[in-house]
Amino acid sequence: MTKKERAVFVDDYLGKKYPETPIPLDHKDPYTLLIAVLLSAQCTDVRVNQITPKLFAKADNPFDMSQLSQEVIADIVRPCGLAPMKSKGIFNLSKILVEKYKGEVPQKLELLEELPAVGHKTASVVMSQAFGVPAFPVDTHIHRLAQRWGLTSGKNVQTTERDLKRLFPQDRWNQLHLQIIFYGREFCTARGCQGLDCELCHILYPNRKHPKKTKKS
C-alpha cells in the first residue's frame, strides 16, 4: 500500500469500528472542557473524570475559580499529578478569562494558546471538541500509532500533525482524532502491540517481523 492508500484504509476501518465518538472527558461547556483537558496531561481520562466533579462543585466557571486560592485548587487536583503547575495554570487562566474575555473561552486557536498552561494540543482539543472547528490534536500516542501505520515518518508531534492533516479530509479530523485514541487504547497500546499484534497493524504490514520503534526528537 502507498501512504495514501493506508490512510484511506485506516479512515474507513476506524469509521466502521467507532461510528460513535463520545468525548472521553466529562464536561458541560467549553470552560470545563478546557480545565479537564489541562488536567489530563500525563494523567488518564478516568482519573480526571474522578477529580473534576470535586473541583467543579467548588467552581465550574472562571469567575468562581479565580476566587479560589491556588492551594485549594492544588489540593483537589493533586491525584492528577503536576498539581503545582496545573493549579497555577487553572487559577491564572481563569483570571485572564474574567478580565480579558468576560468569562468566555475564546474561540480562536492562537488566543487559547496564549492562556497559561494551554499548549497547542490542549487548544486544538478545545477548538475541535468544544467549538467544532476542524483540528487534529496529536499526542504521543497518536504520534506512535501514525508511525506504526506508516502515515508519518516525523520525529515529533508537530510533523505528525501536519502529515495527518495532509492525508485526511478536513471534515474527518475531529472524529478521526477520537477514533484513533479509542483504537489505540483498546488494541494498539504502547507495549501491548508495538506494531505487531493488533488487527490494523497486521493488515497494513502483514510481513512486519520486528517491533516498530517510535521516532522521537
Q: 28-45, pLDDT tens digit by residue?
A: 999 999 999 999 999 999
Are the C-beta atoms of 37 and 118 separated by less than 8 Å? no
Decide if 139 is catalytic.
yes
Q: Which residue has the higher pLDDT, 154 or 144?
A: 144
Decide if 121 is catalytic.
yes
Give the tens place of pLDDT for each residue, 72-119.
Answer: 999 999 999 999 999 999 999 999 999 999 999 999 999 999 999 999
Alpha-carbon span 93 to 69, nearest angstrom? 13
Provide, rounded to the nearest whole percent, the portion of the chain with pLDDT above 90.
94
Write down the pLDDT at residue 217.
53
Distances (CA, A) of 159 to 12, 134, 156, 162: 23, 17, 6, 5
Are the C-beta atoms of 189 and 172 separated by less than 8 Å? no
Place of cell 501512504: 3
Write down the pLDDT at residue 121.
96
Are the C-beta atoms of 155 and 215 separated by less than 8 Å? yes
Question: 186 pLDDT band (50/70/90 cuts)?
Answer: very high
Give the tens place of pLDDT for each residue, 160-178.
Answer: 999 999 999 999 999 999 9
Return the closest-CA partner of residue 66 out of 3, 141, 116, 125: 116
Write down the pLDDT at residue 154.
87
Write down the pLDDT at residue 135.
97
Please tell me which residue in 86, 121, 163, 212 is annotated as part of the active site. 121
**Alpha carbon 39 to chain centroid, angstroms:** 11
Mean pLDDT along residues 136-145 = 94
Q: What is the CATH number of domain 30-131?
A: 1.10.340.30
Write down the pLDDT at residue 170.
98
CATH 1.10.1670.10 fits 3-21+136-204, yes or no: yes
Question: 143 pLDDT band (50/70/90 cuts)?
Answer: very high
Write down the pLDDT at residue 169.
97
Using N-to-C axis directions, what is the helix angle for 45-58 and 30-39, rounded to 10°?
130
DSSP 181: H
Please tell me which residue in 60, 86, 139, 163 is annotated as part of the active site. 139
Domain boundaries in the chain? 3-21+136-204, 30-131
Write down the pLDDT at residue 71.
98
- pLDDT averaged over every residue in the chain: 96
Check whether 24 has a pLDDT greater than 60: yes
